[in-house]
Amino acid sequence: MISVIISGHGHFPTALKESSGMIFGEEDNLMAVPFLKGEGIQTLQEKYKQTLKGIPEEHEVLFLVDIFGGTPYNAATPYIVDDRRMDMAAGVNLPILLEALSLRGHMPLKELLNQLKNMSQQTFQVCSEHLENIKSAHQEREDELL
């Protein structure tokens, strides 16, 4: 099993966890660790340390953070360097979190990260591109009828 720690600036991690709960219900071994205004990297590292104490030793751990190179990312890096059962991905959003939660019991951490990396390219969509594709398809059908 893979335990998931969501972290990021402000209340984003808590809101993301709450949003996933609306869709999936409450999930075991899903923790939100916010980095709040006025806190430093040491405070966040201590929060991570306390959170990690509650995770079973046999679990792998996935940190999902908001920004690559931000404080939540930097604070988690020492834990990952020292423990092969942990890894991290930056750029978390609700679709990525839902995918991680749905797959985490079915594959090892490295495989899950590959799945999430591929999925991230599919979750960012531009509305105007979709509308243009619909217009083009509609025009092609009209042209075929003529």
Judged on CB neighbours under 10 Å (0-12, 13-18, 19+), 101 is: middle
Catalytic residue among 9, 106, 130, 138: 9
Is-contact 88 72, C-beta < 8 A? no
Among the listed residues 73, 92, 107, the one whose alpha carbon sits nearest the alpha carbon of residue 17: 92
130 catalytic residue (yes or no): no
Positions marked catalytic? 9
